[in-house]
């Protein structure tokens, strides 16, 4: 039973390594607007005799923080803002927006945030207001409407860093009754730094315990092999 035990423990070590990576990434993004917590769980699979790691993104609502900035927006409810990057459309919840030199509304990485007509271009110095349905007004005149879309299967989302998500499948507009846009605010990450630190310590202790278990089983094998080798 020692060799199967070593194999099982090795799989556990691999799981804890990935869990530590996910937890560390969550901690690194505790100040990223709109960041969504990643979770990892061990689950059984019909294709493997050992549990496999299942990664999921926790899309629960983060707290809304008022900023007072005209171009800060927070989403209350499901859905994502859509931004155009060099690699195609990406989704995000972070709403710390600003104008680039061309007057386009862009995210904190400089990518245009899309409206119903494409990138939204605004004149500098104008009075900007954003309604709950995402309509963008300049000096009281509507110029476009922020796209707030969702994906049919959230499990297809992939976190890319900086609060962005790639996706597969088609996007559909959110139900305006379920999601509203709040101007002058941003959504905070739905992660907790204190709990994340506690989780990280727990993971490290579990990893160390499994390393000790492998060392103990290896010692047993060494003893058995030595005794068998000395048996006349």
130, containing H or E segment: strand 128-130
Contact predicate 174/150, CB 8 Å = yes
pLDDT at site 47: 67
Q: Closest Cα partner for 20 from 196, 215, 214, 209?
A: 196
Look at residue 64 in the predicted model and tell me its pLDDT: 96
The ranges of the chain with pLDDT < 70 are: 1-5, 44-51, 218-232
Alpha-carbon distance 197 to 192, whole Å?
A: 9
Please state, in angstroms and rounded to a whole number, the distance separating the CA atoms of residues 107 and 116: 17
Tokens representing residue 22 in the block: 């996910």
Contact 149, 123 (CB under 8 A): no
pTM for this model (two decimals): 0.81
């Amino acid at each position: 039973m020692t060799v199967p035990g070593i194999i099982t423990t090795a799989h556990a070590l691999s799981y804890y390594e990935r869990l530590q990576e996910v937890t560390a990434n969550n901690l690194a993004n505790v100040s990223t607007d709109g960041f969504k917590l990643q979770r990892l769980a061990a689950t059984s699979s019909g294709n493997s005799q050992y549990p496999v790691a299942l990664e999921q993104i926790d899309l629960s609502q983060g707290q809304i923080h008022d900023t007072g900035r005209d171009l800060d927006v927070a989403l209350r409810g499901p859905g994502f803002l859509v931004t155009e990057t060099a690699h195609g459309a990406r989704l995000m919840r972070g709403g710390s927006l600003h104008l680039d030199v061309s007057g386009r509304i862009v995210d904190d990485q400089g990518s245009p945030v899309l409206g119903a007509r494409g990138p939204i271009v605004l004149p500098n110095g104008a009075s900007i207001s954003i309604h709950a349905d995402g309509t963008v007004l300049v000096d009281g005149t509507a110029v476009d409407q922020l796209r707030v879309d969702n994906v049919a299967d959230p499990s297809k989302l992939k976190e890319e860093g900086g609060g962005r998500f790639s996706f597969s499948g088609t996007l559909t507009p959110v139900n305006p009754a379920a999601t509203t846009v709040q101007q002058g605010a941003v959504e905070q990450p739905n992660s907790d730094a204190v709990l994340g630190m506690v989780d990280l310590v727990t993971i490290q202790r579990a990893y160390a315990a499994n390393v000790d278990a492998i060392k103990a089983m290896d010692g047993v094998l060494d003893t058995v092999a030595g005794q068998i080798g000395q048996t006349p």
